[in-house]
Amino acid sequence: MVDFGDHVDDATFSQILEMDEDSHDFSMPLVSNFFEQADETFEQMDAAVESKDLSELSKLGHFLKGSSATLGFTKIKDNCQIIQQYGSNLNVDGSAEPDEDVCLRRIKDALAAVKVDKAELEKKMKKFFELEK
């Protein structure tokens, strides 16, 4: 079994795997769909950063947070949370961050990080499903 490290919450992800009936007929397409979805969302996020649209970034962060959390993809979820928070002019601890430039900068950082996370995880997942096949 591939070690996902802190990328994945095993308890959550194993629940998904339990749903598989024949090999990974459920989880594999689900995961690959998620990565597609993540890529699409990243593109939209890039565009929103370009246009400095914080509320759109918050919405997108929330969106991807939901699916990554349900899959147990912890690292991605955490960075999405950060994007969502700063998109709402809030620091991670919930205090207000009125400076939009600060918010945007933090979002850029989190977006860069989440892209890396996603790439790493995708590699691990591919390997995982290869091995399990």
From 30, 97, 113, 132, residue interacting with another protein (rule: CB under 8 A): 30
Closest residue by Cα to residue 73 from 16, 130, 1, 132 = 16
44 binds another protein (CB under 8 A): no
AA identity, residue 37: Q
Both tokens of residue 91?
């620091």
The answer to whether the beta carbons of residues 79 and 114 sit under 8 Å apart is yes
- The region of 43-51, 90-98, 105-113, 124-132 touching another protein under the rule CB under 8 A is 90-98
Both tokens of residue 47?
């565009």
Interface with another protein (CB under 8 A):
9, 11-12, 14-16, 18-19, 26, 30, 33-34, 37, 58, 62-63, 65-67, 69-72, 74, 77-78, 81, 84-85, 88, 90, 92-95
